[in-house]
Each structure stands twice: as C-alpha cells, then as structure tokens.
Amino acid sequence: MKKANISWMISFVLFIGILPAFGQQAAQPAQYRQVSAPVSIHKISPHVYELRGGYGANCSFIVGEKEVFVIDAKMSVQSAKEMTDYIRKTTDRPISRIILTHSDGDHVNGLSGFPEGLDIIAHANSMKHIEKANEGMTEKIPLPTGTFSDRMSLYSGDLRIDLLYLGPAHTDGDIVIFIPEDSTAIVGDLFFKDRDPLIHVNKNGNSFGLVNVLSKLIDLDAQTYLSGHAEPVTKADIEGLRTRIIEIQSKVRALSDKSMTLDEVKKALGISTAKSPWPSLAEVIYLELARDKQK
C-alpha cells in the first residue's frame, strides 16, 4: 500500500476518533452501554462494594476505617445522588475521596452530584482529557484536585489502597485501584466481557498497550476484578480477553502484510465498512500497524 494512502487513512480515523471529545463528554458507544436499571449494591469483599444500574458505568466504593472512597461517578448527577444515598444506607462513614479510573463521560459526568469539597483523584492524563472536554461544555465537569503519574497509595487505618498506572490501553489515563487485603482490583474499562474492547484513539489508547496492561493485571495478586461494564470476573477472564486481542492483532497483521486496504481487511474479518465515530478493534489495530510501518 502506498504511503500516501496509509497517511490519509490514519488522518481520517484519528479525525473521527476525536469527534466524541467535542461538544460533550461522550459515553460509550451503544454496543458497550449497559441497559439502564435501578441502582443496586453488591458486597464484593470485606471492604469493597459495587454499584450497578443507573445511568452510566458500574461504580464501586471502599469502606475504610473512618471514611469511604468512591470509584467513578456515573453519567448523570441524578445517578450520582442515588449512589450517595446507597452509600449512606450501607455505612455511616463519610465519603472523603472520589477516584476516577479514567475520563470517559459515563464515569465522570456525574461528579457534580456529589457533595462539594471532596478530593477527586485521577491520572494526570485523565485530568487533561476532562479539561479538553470542558472546553465544549456549558456545565463543566469538576476537575480532579489531585493527580499522579505512576503510582499512589492511600491509607485508611491499616487498609491500603494502591492506585496503579500500568500504561496506555483503553485511554492513556486508565488506572487500576488495587486493595491487597481484599485481593480485589477495580479496572474501569480495561475489561469488557463477551465483546471487543473499545480503544479511544483520541485519548491515545492503544491495543498493544492494552495487551501489556492485561498482562500486568494477570500478574497482580488479585482474585476478583471489577469493571465498568461487566459483573465481577476472575484472572481467567482477563487471560481470555488478552488471548482474543492477540488473535485479532495476528489476523490483522497477516492481512495487512498482504497490502490489503482497511476496507479489504474489514471485509475479510466480517466487519462493516461503514464509517463510524467508534472504530472497531480491528480498525484500530490496522492503523497502529500502518503507523509503525511509516516509522
């Protein structure tokens, strides 16, 4: 394939990947959204609870010795307020911090529904993405009050909560919240069950980076993994997703090496060639490989 054609396709996919970042902080595409249901609470481990339902992704909270740490904030103010109601019914300990797994709208747009003055912690790159989203919004999303780059540990009495940045994957700001005492990891959108993962090109996500991050999750001393769009999963589920991504990467590479165009590759893999603001995993991989060839 000629370099000019590769460059044009890279530019086009990057452009359509950027579209959702403007105007509003977009949620996941339809195929990744959960059906809205009443908010429900599920105890996962001695300190960790998961909140499902409502408008937006699954969220969690960690009950420490004297305080509560909330993980993610739903898609709407109303769902965030429902979250706080459920937390109050579960424990009388106050919410002290909100931790964001990443910057997608279905995880952060509800931040205004929480009481003012709470610390909000995120990766430094997620802060940048929220700032960018705010440029096109009338109602601004509250910004993180604290960020980190590689690792951060929080304590509540003897309970330790590790915030880990394992590299670019779904976005370049995904973090993992690991509670060693409970052998539980909260991974946001690093895991999707029974579907291909979504890679946000406009937020510097990377499929090969995701494989690397999944490998690190497997090495983590965790038994239970909580994600934004599935019920709790095990290490075997993480391994299964990693294997599937590697298989798709291998297929796309083989077709790309035959100098097939993007549309030809998509047809060969049974993927629609219609243009979409949400590129398929195979499309993202194809463009990543094309960029590597240009280097």
- pLDDT value of position 10: 43
Cα separation, 87 vs 107, whole angstroms: 17
- DSSP H helices in 91-156: 105-108, 124-134
DSSP codes joined into one string, 173-206: S--EEEEGGGTEEEEETT--SSSPPP--GGGT--
CA distances from 50 to 36, 46, 82, 254 (A): 16, 12, 13, 41
Six-digit token string for 215: 């490998």
DSSP codes joined into one string, 228-248: TTEEEE-HHHHHHHHHHHHHH
Asked if 98 contacts 144 with a C-beta cutoff of 8 angstroms, the reply is no
Cα separation, 282 vs 164, whole angstroms: 28
Cα dihedral across residues 52, 174, 214, 284: positive or negative: positive
Cα 14–Cα 15–Cα 19 angle in degrees, nearest 5: 115
Which pairs count as long-range contacts for 261-266, CB under 8 Å and 24+ apart, including other chains? 261/1, 261/5, 261/9, 262/9, 262/286, 262/287
Cα separation, 113 vs 98, whole angstroms: 12
Q: Which domains does the chain have, with CATH numbers?
A: 27-234 (3.60.15.10)
- pLDDT value of position 274: 87
- pLDDT value of position 37: 74
Beta-bridge partners for 191: none
- pLDDT value of position 293: 82
- pLDDT value of position 33: 52
Six-digit token string for 204: 């510097």
- pLDDT value of position 26: 53
Cα separation, 238 vs 192, whole angstroms: 9
Asked if 100 contacts 72 with a C-beta cutoff of 8 angstroms, the reply is yes
- pLDDT value of position 80: 94
Cα separation, 226 vs 217, whole angstroms: 12
Q: 255: burial class by Cβ within 10 Å (0-12, 13-18, 19+)? A: buried
Q: What is the pLDDT along the chain (295 residues), one digit of tens a residue?
A: 444 444 444 444 444 444 443 334 555 565 455 556 778 899 999 999 999 988 999 999 999 999 999 999 999 999 999 999 999 999 999 999 999 999 999 999 999 999 999 999 999 999 999 999 999 888 999 999 999 999 999 999 999 999 999 999 999 999 999 999 999 999 999 999 988 999 999 999 999 999 999 999 999 999 999 999 999 999 999 999 999 999 999 999 999 999 999 999 999 999 998 888 788 999 999 999 999 888 7
